[in-house]
Amino acid sequence: MKNVSIFGLGYVGLSTAVCFSIKNINVIGYDVDKSKIEKLSMGIPTIYEEGLEELLKVSIKNEKIKFTSDPKEAIAKSDITFITVGTPSKEDKSIDLSYVESAATQIGEALREKKSWHLIVVKSTVLPGTTEGLVLKTIERVSGKKCGTDFGICMNPEFLKEGSAIKDTLNPERIIIGEYDKKSGDYLEEFFRQFYDNILPPILRTSPINAELIKYANNAFLAMKISFINMIANLCQVLPKADVEDIARGIGYDKRVGSLFLKAGIGWGGSCFPKDLAALRSFSRSLNLDLPLLDATMIVNEYQPINAINLVERKLGNLKDKVIAVLGLAFKAGTDDIRESVAIKLVEELIRKGAKVKVYDPVAMKNASMKLGNKVYYAEDSLDCIKNADCAIVATEWEEFKRITAKQFKELMKRPLVFDGRRIYNSKEYKNEIEFLAVGLGSEELEIPKVRMETFLNPALAVNAIVAKKEKILLVKRRNEPFSGFWSLPGGFVEYGETVEEAVKREVKEETGLIVELEKLVGVYSERNRHPGRHVVAVCYSTKIKESKISIDLEENEEAKFFNYRELPKNLAFDHNKMIYDYLKLSEL
């Protein structure tokens, strides 16, 4: 068997390293983080994953795995190097490839001193073109060697899920080998053939760029499938007697659809889907290409927690000072990971609305407290969480929440109103005992929303509609919006019971610290297909500043009334000061 080195000991790297080592492959793990190396060398895993610790200890004892802070040692002692460093999102949601680049640089430096042919395998999720571009070119430049003759390169994406990383690595459904040349592909295939032996899954040999794209397409498809069922869930919610659970079951029997990843809920989160979809979107935009299904997938997801809150609001009215219990903070059950967790977004939105939020999660409390600070009450357990609450929202599908009975909700809560955001309860049973709402569950009592849902095809139509009909408008503005410049215009959600004007004033104050008087409507921006099923416009009023806690230079404004976000400078969306300034410029029209 070949000896293997792993560059980057995060989730993927560590799980892969341990799985190789328990199958008698000599593995040497490298990471820049020295404290990580120390811990791992002592057999202490740096991530939580079922079964990992035991396997790590066995491999250390059998001397099959070792860890080093010296990249040269890692290369010298191995035949194949897997790059498994992180590819996080930058602030503008595009991909940050700096860890990949520094791994490639270190590999290049080490290869300079190596005589024998070496195979480099990119496992990190990277944008199409990165393996044969950034990685290959960096290694060639730094090592002075030639790919194809002195070393080989492959792209081999992973598809492991948190919570079942070991199982997924040992029993993959397929192996994708994106090869620079035949020699590299043959070498890696032979390695996997030996590793998987009699449980060899299908192997697809292809180009590196296809392998890179397969990973993105895979995650985008899965996220789309969840958003699809969530969209159907939203439809069910306004139709009495409809239930998305039965619909998912019904369509899931069709093999062409398949039953997995059809669980409706408050949305998908985690370390992969949000990051990868945003990176793919930003990448396609850089090629001036729209991927509308990707947009729709993200938009549906962004609104899932908001939809949940809207439903609760229709029962409770204004949420200010209402006590809301949120059960679950992890992005899914079985992990303490709160990265991009929809539960956390839900909590933040509730806080923004002035609710008093109580939270509980069996394992993610510590991580969540770093994010939520003292803005919420951290309950002792699930029953303490629901105690005296006006409403309880299930945000993560933990087993222990499933055990809370309707009777307990009834006895402990101030008002036994439950929103099942993960469909963990038997709705018929709970409906008999308590006020029960759930994602995708039709309810006779819920009236059709007053807000007319419409997307305007062009801004002029939107202006006309607003001016002529004086209807309530849902303004849209997301903080840290991953999408585009347009969203950076002050705007926001019309809160329950608020007029549009009040909402605009409040949002401007929240965003800029300015207290403004609205004079007249001067511009509306609307975009097609961005928020399916929603009346989405950004409105701009001319304003008079009444009070200001900050000073901003106002320049003569030559801006057009209606503008296209594509024409905005790229950095606009993320530069807060500039954003305020642009708003004020616009408001001077």
Residues taking part in catalysis: 272
Under rule CB under 6 A, residue 48 binds ligand UDX: no
**Residues near 254 by Cβ (< 8 Å), separated by ≥ 6?**
none
Distance in Å, CB of 340 to ligand UDX, minimum: 8
Q: Considering only CA atoms, which of 116, 39, 131 is closest in space to residue 80? A: 116
Q: How far is the CB of 272 from ligand UDX (least distance, A)?
A: 3
Q: How far is the CB of 574 from ligand UDX (least distance, A)?
A: 25
- The Cα–Cα gap between 258 and 275 comes to 25
**Complete DSSP assignment for 133-197:** IIIHHHHHHHH---BTTTEEEEE------TT-HHHHHHS-S-EEEEESSHHHHHHHHHHHHHHHG
Taking the least distance from each CB to ligand UDX, the nearer of 339 and 505 is 339
Among 262, 300, 326, 346, indicate the residue that binds ligand UDX (CB under 6 A). 262
Residue 331 interacts with ligand UDX (CB under 6 A): yes or no? yes
- Find the binding residues for ligand UDX in span 203-242 (CB under 6 A): 219, 222, 226
Instruction: Work out whether 345 is an interface residue with ligand UDX (CB under 6 A).
Output: no
Tokens of 78: 């191995």
Angle, vertex CA 221, rays to CA 289 and CA 347, nearest 5 = 95
CB of 262 to ligand UDX, least distance (A): 6
Rounded Cα distance between 265 and 396, Å, is 9
Q: How far is the CB of 284 from ligand UDX (least distance, A)?
A: 20
CB nearer to ligand UDX: give 304 or 526. Answer: 304
Interacting span for ligand UDX (CB under 6 A) from 130-138, 261-269, 284-292, 365-373: 261-269
Strand locations in 401-535, DSSP E? 417-420, 435-438, 474-475, 515-526
Output the smallest distance, CB 332 to ligand UDX, in A.
4
Q: Which two tokens stand for residue 369?
A: 């407290």
Stretch that binds ligand UDX, among 111-119, 262-270, 408-416, 432-440 (CB under 6 A): 262-270
Bridge partner residues of 393 (DSSP): 326, 419
Segment contacting ligand UDX by CB under 6 A, of 49-57, 93-101, 270-278, 527-535: 270-278
d(CA 51, CA 163): 10
With respect to ligand UDX, which residue has the nearer C-beta, 279 or 463? 279
Query: C-alpha distances in angstroms, 365 versus 222, 336, 359, 368, 373?
Result: 28, 8, 8, 5, 11
Q: Site for ligand UDX (CB under 6 A): which residue of 83, 160, 247, 418? A: 160
Q: Applying CB under 6 A, which part among 57-65, 105-113, 239-247, 269-277 lies near ligand UDX? A: 269-277
In whole angstroms, the minimum distance from the beta carbon of 196 to ligand UDX comes to: 18
State the DSSP H helix or E strand holding residue 385, giving kind and residue range, or none if neither.
helix 382-386
Backbone angles phi, psi at 171, to 5 degrees: -130, 65
Which range of residues in 35-43, 47-55, 158-166, 173-181 is near ligand UDX by CB under 6 A?
A: 158-166
Whole-number minimum distance, CB 90 to ligand UDX, in Å? 19
3-state secondary structure of 99: helix
**How crowded is residue 196: how many other Cβ atoms within 10 Å of its Cβ?**
16
270 binds ligand UDX (CB under 6 A): yes
Residue 413 tokens read as 């809560």
Residue 457 in tokens: 């095809």
Number of residues that bind ligand UDX (CB under 6 A): 19
What is the closest distance, in whole angstroms, from the C-beta atom of residue 440 to ligand UDX in the complex? Answer: 11
Stretch that binds ligand UDX, among 183-191, 235-243, 260-268, 539-547 (CB under 6 A): 260-268
Residues β-bridged to residue 152: 119
273 binds ligand UDX (CB under 6 A): yes
Indicate which single residue of 64, 66, 123, 332 sits in contact with ligand UDX (rule: CB under 6 A): 332
| Nearest approach, Cβ of residue 174 and ligand UDX (Å) | 12
CB atoms within 10 A of CB 335: 23
Residue 263 binds ligand UDX (CB under 6 A): yes
Residues 4-23 interacting with ligand UDX (rule: CB under 6 A) = none
Pick between residue 277 and residue 462 the one whose CB is nearest to ligand UDX. Answer: 277
Question: Which DSSP string do the residues of 308-337 spell out, in sequence order?
Answer: HHHHHHHHH---TT-EEEEE--SSSTT---
How far does Cα 69 stand from its chain's mean position? Answer: 31
- The residue (of 20 and 151) whose beta carbon lies closer to ligand UDX is 20
222 vs 257 by CB, closer to ligand UDX: 222
SS3 549: coil
Q: Which of 30, 151, 195, 268 binds ligand UDX (CB under 6 A)?
A: 268
How many other CB atoms sit within 10 Å of the CB of residue 270? Answer: 21
Between 162 and 495, whose beta carbon lies closer to ligand UDX? 162
Cβ–Cβ < 8 Å for 359, 391: no
What are the strands, taking DSSP E only, across 406-489? 417-420, 435-438, 474-475
Is 562 among the residues that bind ligand UDX (CB under 6 A)? no
- Pick the piece of the chain touching ligand UDX (CB under 6 A) from 148-156, 259-267, 484-492, 555-563: 259-267
| 188 and 266 Cβ atoms separated by less than 8 Å | no
Stretch that binds ligand UDX, among 159-167, 173-181, 473-481, 547-555 (CB under 6 A): 159-167
Q: How many CB atoms lie within 10 A of CB 90?
A: 14
Site string (185-204) toward ligand UDX, x via CB under 6 A: --------------------
Find the binder of ligand UDX among 141, 161, 249, 414 (CB under 6 A): 161
Task: Choose between 81 and 219: whose C-beta lies nearer to ligand UDX.
Answer: 219
Residue number with CB closer to ligand UDX (95 or 226): 226
- Minimum distance, C-beta of residue 17 to ligand UDX, in the bound complex (Å): 17
Question: Is the distance from CB of 91 to CB of 479 less than 8 angstroms?
Answer: no
Q: Which is nearer to ligand UDX, 154 or 223 (CB)?
A: 223
- Residue 202, class by beta-carbon neighbours within 10 Å (0-12 exposed, 13-18 middle, 19+ buried)? exposed
Q: Quick check: 272 binds ligand UDX (CB under 6 A)?
A: yes
Measure the CA–CA gap between 554 and 514, rounded to whole angstroms: 14
**For residues 278 and 434, which CB has a smaller minimum distance to ligand UDX in the complex?**
278
Distance between CA atoms of residues 362 and 371, nearest Å: 16
The count of C-alpha atoms lying within 13 angstroms of the C-alpha of 414, restricted to the half-sphere facing its C-beta, is: 10
- Residues near ligand UDX (CB under 6 A): 159-162, 219, 222, 226, 261-263, 265, 268-273, 331-332
